[in-house]
Amino acid sequence: MSWSTYASSLIRYPQFGFSLDTSLMDLDEAFFAKMAPKVEKAFADIAALESGAIANPDEGRMVGHYWLRNAALAPSQELRDSITKPLADLKAFAEKVHTGQVKPLSGGVFQRILLIGIGGSALGPQLVTEAIGHGARMPIHFFDNTDPAGIDRVLSDIGAAGLAKTLVVVISKSGGTPETRNGMIEAKAAYDAAGLHFGKHAVAVTGTGSKLDQYAEKEGFLVRFPMEDWVGGRTSVMSTVGLVPAALQGIDIDAFLAGAAAMDAETRKTGDGNAAMRLALAWHASGNGKGEKDMVVLPYKDSLVLFSKYLQQLVMESLGKEHDLDGAVVNQGIAVYGNKGSTDQHAYVQQLRDGVANFFATFIEVRKGRHGDSIEVEPGNSSADYLQGFLRGTRKALYDSGRKSITISIPEVTPFQLGVLIALFERTVSFYASLVNINAYHQPGVEAGKKAAAVFLDLLGAVRSRLVSEAKTADQIAFEVDADPEDVYHCLTHLSANGEVQISIGTTPKEDNFSL
Ligand SMILES: O=P(O)(O)OC[C@H]1O[C@](O)(CO)[C@@H](O)[C@@H]1O
Nearest CA to ligand 1 atom 9: 119
Q: Give the residues surrounding ligand 1 with Cβ less than 6 Å away.
A: 118-121, 172-174, 177, 180, 233-234, 317, 443, 446
What count of other Cβ atoms lies within 10 Å of the Cβ of residue 155?
Answer: 21
Nearest Cα residue to 402 out of 69, 26, 40, 102: 26
CA atoms of 502 and 493, how far apart (whole Å):
9
pLDDT of residue 515: 96
pLDDT of residue 1: 66
Active site residue 480: no
Pure H helices in 100-206: 120-132, 148-158, 160-163, 178-193
Q: Give 446 Cα–ligand 1 centroid separation in angstroms.
A: 9
Q: What ipTM is given for this predicted complex?
A: 0.98
Among 59, 61, 63, 118, say which to mutate for ligand 1: greatest number of ligand atoms within 8 Å of CB: 118
Active site residue 173: no
pLDDT of residue 450: 85
Contacts of 286 (CB under 8 A, 6+ apart): 25, 292, 293, 360, 404
Q: Give 121 Cα–ligand 1 centroid separation in angstroms.
A: 7
Q: Give 509 Cα–ligand 1 centroid separation in angstroms.
A: 36
Active site residue 450: yes
Among 56, 121, 228, say which to mutate for ligand 1: greatest number of ligand atoms within 8 Å of CB: 121
Write out pLDDT tens, residues 65-99. 999 999 999 999 999 999 999 999 999 999 999 99
C-beta separation of 164 from 196 below 8 A: yes
Contacts of 92 (CB under 8 A, 6+ apart): none
Nearest CA to ligand 1 atom 4: 172
Q: Tell me: cis bond preceding 342? Omega within 30 of 0 counts.
A: yes
Nearest CA to ligand 1 atom 7: 119
Write out pLDDT tens, residues 185-244. 999 999 999 999 999 999 999 999 999 999 999 999 999 999 999 999 999 999 999 999
pLDDT beneath 50, residues of the chain? none
